[in-house]
């Protein structure tokens, strides 16, 4: 199983997609691209407030003037209506319905987007006099290099904020999250390291759980570094954003490995009606095969989702097939593991053991169901708030799940009483020589 996890992590690293561009965009205005698509799509941004700003810098003014280069801004809802309209608008008719238009005849252009009652997504398109012509030979002219900066008003109303409405607040959230991780590490790192170093019946469980926690902390730190740079230049460090998502996927694989190993071991052993080793993780070909299939399925779906949509950080809103399949997989895992633990709890006579299994079930189900539930809850929020609700909510819920599991496995009462009552080794242990209650 350890080899499986390494394979999944290596697979993720090799196939990792490139990070998406920030809100300082660099590229070229192309007449050919604009003619092929009836307008070259440059990007989109969620403006808010009364003094949002779009700034464009170009070098080749003569070419821009000669081509009658223009930028067209459409509100997302209006653009969607145009795309779905049955009127069959022509190219020129579509461009004429843009809410804002900018003619590029200077080195630098500033366009203020004001009087926005609520945050809205705006699409930016480039077009020129060749865009709506059928003759492609005339469009084979020189491209125009550009740099575009999209800004929202800050707390003082000045257009200096690189974050869109959907990203606002994430920088501060990851700062607080990293700060909490740092404080917790200062308080508990030494005692946790001593517990792992001593070995004992919880050795493997604590190693896997701590590895997942370190990956989550690494993801939070990478996101904070990316957003800190992003707040200054609108680009950030795309590698750190991708690294944050990589750490998060690796953490998901670690936790899936841990929870599957524990729950499947208990369930399979109960199915065998073995009374001599009721809490042992049973590494049979059947359990290993099921775990391999589930872990690889989740890894493939996570990678697929990243290739489909690279515009988010760590958690997506599941607008594509891969995201929907991930939700279905997590619901199925929560239901199957919950049912298995329920069967164990109903036949367990020991109050301490029932309490142990119930607490474990809470942490397990919270880990798997928080993402699907929050994805459903986010539907009631505005479009620009949904990604933030899912991102912040899932991180907090899974952090609570880890706290529940740590309290359970580091407890000096519940887990050790279960161990002494069972008189056998615990799940994920190597040897059976740890029967007494250890003391830290």
The per-residue pLDDT for 277 is 40
Burial of 118 (0-12, 13-18, 19+ CB in 10 A): exposed
The per-residue pLDDT for 6 is 44
The per-residue pLDDT for 179 is 96
The DSSP string of 117-170 is EEEEEEEEEEE-TTTT-S-SSTT----EEEEEEEEB--TTS-S-B---TTTTTH
CA distance 293 to 331: 16
CA distance 47 to 284: 56
Say which CATH class 170-266+286-311+319-421 falls into: mainly alpha
The per-residue pLDDT for 415 is 52
Same fold, 24-151 and 170-266+286-311+319-421: no
Helix (H, G, I), strand (E, B) or coil at 73: strand
Q: Could you tell me which of 381, 359, 229, 374 has the C-alpha nearest to residue 315?
A: 374
The per-residue pLDDT for 139 is 57
Query: By the 8 A CB rule, do 38 and 94 touch?
Result: yes
CA distance 238 to 302: 19
Locate the domains of the chain by residue range.
24-151, 170-266+286-311+319-421
Query: By the 8 A CB rule, do 41 and 119 touch?
Result: no
Answering whether pTM is above 0.85, one says no
Burial of 9 (0-12, 13-18, 19+ CB in 10 A): middle
- Classify residue 420 as left (phi > 0), alpha (psi -120 to 50) or beta: alpha
Residues of the chain with pLDDT under 70: 1-22, 86, 115, 136-140, 199-202, 263-288, 291, 308-319, 411-440
Given CATH 2.30.30, say whether it is the number of domain 24-151.
no
CA distance 246 to 63: 43
């Amino acid at each position: 199983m350890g080899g499986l996890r390494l394979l999944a992590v290596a697979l993720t690293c090799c196939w990792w997609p490139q990070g998406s561009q920030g809100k300082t965009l660099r590229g070229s205005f192309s007449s050919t691209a604009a003619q092929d698509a009836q307008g070259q799509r440059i990007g989109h941004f969620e403006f808010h407030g009364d003094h949002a700003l779009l700034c464009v810098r170009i070098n080749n003014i003569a070419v821009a003037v000669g081509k009658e280069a223009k930028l067209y801004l459409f509100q997302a809802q209006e653009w969607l209506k145009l795309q779905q309209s049955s009127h069959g608008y022509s190219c020129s008719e579509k461009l004429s319905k843009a809410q804002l238009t900018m003619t590029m005849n200077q080195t630098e252009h500033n366009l203020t987007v004001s009087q926005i009652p609520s945050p809205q997504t705006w699409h930016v398109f480039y077009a020129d006099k060749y865009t709506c012509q059928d003759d492609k030979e005339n469009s084979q002219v020189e491209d125009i290099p550009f740099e575009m900066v999209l800004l929202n008003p800050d707390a003082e109303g000045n257009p200096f904020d690189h974050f869109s409405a959907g990203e606002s607040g994430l920088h501060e959230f990851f700062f607080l999250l990293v700060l909490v991780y740092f404080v917790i590490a200062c308080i508990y790192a030494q005692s946790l390291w001593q517990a792992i170093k001593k070995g004992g019946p919880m050795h493997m469980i604590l190693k896997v759980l701590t590895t997942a926690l370190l990956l989550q902390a690494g993801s939070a730190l990478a996101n904070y570094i990316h957003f800190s740079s992003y707040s200054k230049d609108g680009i950030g460090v795309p590698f750190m954003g991708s690294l944050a998502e990589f750490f998060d996927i690796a953490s998901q694989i670690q936790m899936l490995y841990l929870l599957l190993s524990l729950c499947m071991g208990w369930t399979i052993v109960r199915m065998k009606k073995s009374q001599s080793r009721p809490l042992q993780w049973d590494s049979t070909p059947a359990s290993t095969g099921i775990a391999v299939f589930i872990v690889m399925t989740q890894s493939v779906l996570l990678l697929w989702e990243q290739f489909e949509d690279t515009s988010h950080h760590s958690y997506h809103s599941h607008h594509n097939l891969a995201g929907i399949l991930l939700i279905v997989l997590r619901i199925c895992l929560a239901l199957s593991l919950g049912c298995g633990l329920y069967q164990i709890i109903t036949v367990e006579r020991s109050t301490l053991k029932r309490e142990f299994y119930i607490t474990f079930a809470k942490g397990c189900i919270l880990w798997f169901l928080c993402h699907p539930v929050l994805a459903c809850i986010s539907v009631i929020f505005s479009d620009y708030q949904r990604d933030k609700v899912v991102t912040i909510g899932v991180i907090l819920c899974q952090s609570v799940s880890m706290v529940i599991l740590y309290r359970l496995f580091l407890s000096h009462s519940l887990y050790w009483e279960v161990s002494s009552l069972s008189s056998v080794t615990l799940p994920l242990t190597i040897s059976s020589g740890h029967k007494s209650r250890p003391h830290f």
